[in-house]
Structure 1
Amino acid sequence: MGSSTDYNMLVPIIDLSLLQKDHQTRSLVINQIRESCRTAGIFAVINHGIPETIAEEALTVNKNFFNLPLNIKEEFFSPDMYKPVKYGTNQGEAHGILWEYLKLYSHPFEKFVDLWPKSPPDYREIMGNCTMEMRKLSIQICGAIMESLDLEATYLKAEIEKGVQMVAINSYSSISGSNMKIIGASQHSDFSVITLLLQSSLGLQVMDKNDKKWKSVPVIKGALLVLVGDLLEVLSNGEYKAVLHRAIRTSGNDTRLSIASFQSLEMDEILEPAMKLVNEDHPEQYRGCCLRDYLKHRASGESKPFVETVKITNSATIQ
């Protein structure tokens, strides 16, 4: 899969402020979300309530973190998948470090903030503001998505509010003096209900569900991206499919930063397809799973995507 040819993704743009308007306007927005989840697996939200200064400060403070000496960053290095704060690098044989990352558990905030980096000095304050705002927005969007599935807006709300929020910050250095495009993060889907993504510049690509081509996702000023995750695919009984995506490194002078907030349930909370979405015409397609199952899968080194391991084969029994 994949090609060196550039294709641009026409990402649906949804104005979240319209959810507060009259019933007819709200219904139109819910329908936009439904179609976006079904056909693209990704959409952009504007007028989402997060001040642009919070997003800009978060990108800047993480750029400053990745510019710190390696010995400071390596204090957070760990092979432990369960580590609440984890720094690392991904390397390619021909191209050195492909990217650096920092993963933070961020909810409950009070439980994890003292484990976060102390440098830069304002890191905890700025990222605390950012992660709390992203979590609040994720819960709001999840409610609208539940409505788009003809479920109650409060379906799983309590479980999502108690759930794990993990934030991944990725730093992709550019490839100076080259027209090459080199894969950074390889193709994958996210183990989340939804992923909320902020990116500083181009680099995200998604697999178009229609023509199966990789397409570049534009940077829309003031917007955040919403990606359908594995948990939403399971919950929707396959009505919404997790979006396959990757990141590339391109030539240029700027380092690309992305901040992704993954909204899941609690570590051992089993999520299954909503029973309202299971019937004779649409039998259950997935078995229940939880975040711990996913982390065990990752730690095992199994190459098969996790969501594929929880699919149920509804084939006739061979006589």
Structure 2
Amino acid sequence: MENEKGASSSTFKMGNSAQERSLPYVPDCYAVPPSYEPRDALDSKSESVPTIDISRLKGSDDERRGVIQEIRLACQSFGFFQIVNHGIDQSILDDALAVAKGFFELPAKEKNKFMSNDVYAPVRYTTSLKDGVDKTQFWRIFLKHYAHPLHRWIHLWPQNPPEYREKIGKFCEEVRILSLEIMGAITESLGLGRDYLSSRMGENGMQVMAVNCYPPCPDPKTALGLPPHSDYSCITILLQNLTGLEIFDLTAHDGSGRWVHVPEVKGVLKVHIGDHVEVLSNGLYKSVIHKVTLNEEKTRISLASLHSLGMDDKMSVPCQLVNDENPVRYRESSFNDFLGFLVKNDISQGDRFIDTLRIKD
């Protein structure tokens, strides 16, 4: 069996990946070329990212207007912000992280029940992005499953650890309520009103959970947990146990941009603006480009809750944001359209869904 550092990517398939086997080296198929992946991220202490007290949305009219303005500025400049005082009890966050870690500690036989390379599967366990297909592989293991409506999907989730469905289910319910509140604030910040998408996202919207595990990597400077990408969703709400998330600040260096480490503070949640909010805003807000770096000693667990319209419900530019000076700049698309894109394209090489939606002048 080939096990040298030059092993081809086809050697490392689901259930037999380098990260699952805890190899003491990084195989060549995981190595990200320096020309492709600049590594000049600022330390989190020298560059702050927006942090918003989301509880003020329920305060006085003046307080709400202040938060709406903060969200507007964060969406324009970063496409990202952190939230505090979000109302989700710390025990719910801790329990979700703990039970997620417990899933990845199960014997391979148990995890492999959910193994799939089918991006359309409502529950799937896999590694990298598309195992054995992508030119570059990534040091990640993940379980992805649908979460709304919960009663429709929860019976398909893992039964082990025994509390997985209960703890992750509770987290999903709480985060979904929060997502609707945040989306109401985002549409309000665009002048569309807080209820512009509430019915479409509230009843028939999609919630997809990406439960991620990034095992210790013997050479974190060589590989990545995830390549630079943006999420297809309206928003993604992220919980993590360790640092590793980096976002690309488009405004730094006179527009040439720079990577910024996102600090980890217990109880703080991260909000990513996704491709469909970029479409919704007709380009006023940008979906955040982000990546995941690795740790040599510790396992990073993250729970990413992606929120969008229904599977075939198309996001389009509102007529209220279109005029002679600002024509429609994006094609309409759905979550299902994104899945089709994922099948045909290689995100590891920089392909982005949002690029297929932009209308060229």
Q: TM-score, normalised by structure 1?
A: 0.93
Q: Take 1:5 and 1:146, find their aligned partners in 2: how far apart are those partners?
A: 34
Q: Does residue 201 of structure 1 match 2:242?
A: yes
Residue type matched to 1:190 in 2? Answer: D
Which of 152, 173, 179 is matched with 2:193 structurally?
A: 152
Q: Take 1:147 and 1:115, find their aligned partners in 2: how far apart are those partners?
A: 36
Q: Take 1:172 and 1:309, find their aligned partners in 2: how far apart are those partners?
A: 30
Residue 313 of structure 1 aligns to a residue whose secondary structure is: coil
| Count, aligned residues | 311
**Corresponding residue of 1:64:** 102
After TM superposition, list the pairs within 5 Å mapping 1:172-251 onto structure 2. 172-176=214-218, 180=221, 182-211=223-252, 212-251=257-296
Residue 228 of structure 2 aligns to a residue whose secondary structure is: coil
**Corresponding residue of 1:317:** none
Which of 315, 319, 326 is matched with 1:271 structurally?
A: 315
**Corresponding residue of 1:3:** 38
Residue 48 of structure 2 aligns to a residue whose secondary structure is: coil
Which of 112, 124, 139 is matched with 2:153 structurally?
A: 112
Q: Give the Å deviation of 1:181.
A: 5.7
Q: Does residue 22 of structure 1 match 2:60?
A: yes
User: Retained in 2: the 8 A contact 1:235–1:271?
Assistant: yes
Deviations 1:91-134 (A, max 9, x none): 799x9971100001000100100000000001100011001111
Residue type matched to 1:163 in 2? Answer: G
Which of 350, 354, 361 is matched with 1:307 structurally?
A: 354
Q: Take 1:117 and 1:179, find their aligned partners in 2: how far apart are those partners?
A: 30
Residue type matched to 2:124 in 1? Answer: K
User: Retained in 2: the 8 A contact 1:234–1:271?
Assistant: yes
User: Retained in 2: the 8 A contact 1:198–1:258?
Assistant: yes
The 10-residue stretch of structure 1 (226-235 or 9-18) with the greater mean CA deviation from structure 2: 9-18
User: Retained in 1: the 8 A contact 2:139–2:217?
Assistant: no
When residues 278 and 97 of structure 1 are mapped into structure 2, their CA distance, relative to the original with a 3 A threshold, is: closer
User: Retained in 2: the 8 A contact 1:61–1:120?
Assistant: yes
Which of 141, 145, 164 is matched with 2:206 structurally?
A: 164
Residue 205 of structure 1 aligns to a residue whose secondary structure is: strand
Q: Give the Å deviation of 1:63.
A: 0.4
User: Retained in 2: the 8 A contact 1:230–1:241?
Assistant: yes
**Corresponding residue of 1:258:** 302
Instruction: Quote the sequence identity (%).
Output: 39
Structure 2: stretches of 5+ with no match in the other structure: 1-35
Q: Take 1:180 and 1:228, find their aligned partners in 2: how far apart are those partners?
A: 27
Residue type matched to 1:271 in 2? Answer: M
Q: Give the Å deviation of 1:173.
A: 1.0
The 10-residue stretch of structure 1 (208-217 or 299-308) with the greater mean CA deviation from structure 2: 299-308
Q: TM-score, normalised by structure 2?
A: 0.83
Q: Take 1:179 and 1:246, find their aligned partners in 2: how far apart are those partners?
A: 13
Q: Give the Å deviation of 1:302.
A: 5.0
User: Retained in 2: the 8 A contact 1:43–1:226?
Assistant: yes
Give RMSD over aligned pairs: 1.8
Q: Give the Å deviation of 1:210.
A: 1.4
Structure 1: stretches of 5+ with no match in the other structure: 315-319
When residues 129 and 233 of structure 1 are mapped into structure 2, their CA distance, relative to the original with a 3 A threshold, is: same
Residue 143 of structure 1 aligns to a residue whose secondary structure is: helix
User: Retained in 1: the 8 A contact 2:138–2:226?
Assistant: no
User: Retained in 2: the 8 A contact 1:270–1:290?
Assistant: yes
Residue type matched to 2:296 in 1? Answer: S
Q: Give the Å deviation of 1:4.
A: 3.2
User: Retained in 2: the 8 A contact 1:78–1:86?
Assistant: yes
User: Retained in 2: the 8 A contact 1:2–1:214?
Assistant: no
User: Retained in 2: the 8 A contact 1:181–1:248?
Assistant: no
Q: Give the Å deviation of 1:88.
A: 0.4
**Corresponding residue of 2:10:** none
Q: Take 2:181 and 2:110, find their aligned partners in 1: how far apart are those partners?
A: 36
Residue type matched to 1:57 in 2? Answer: D
Q: Does residue 128 of structure 1 match 2:191?
A: no
User: Retained in 1: the 8 A contact 2:51–2:83?
Assistant: yes
After TM superposition, list the pairs within 5 Å mapping 1:286-297 onto structure 2. 286-297=330-341
Q: Take 2:38 and 2:338, find their aligned partners in 1: how far apart are those partners?
A: 30
When residues 213 and 115 of structure 1 are mapped into structure 2, their CA distance, relative to the original with a 3 A threshold, is: same
Q: Give the Å deviation of 1:2.
A: 4.5
Residue type matched to 1:274 in 2? Answer: P
Q: Take 2:137 and 2:336, find their aligned partners in 1: how far apart are those partners?
A: 32
Q: Take 2:137 and 2:57, find their aligned partners in 1: how far apart are those partners?
A: 46
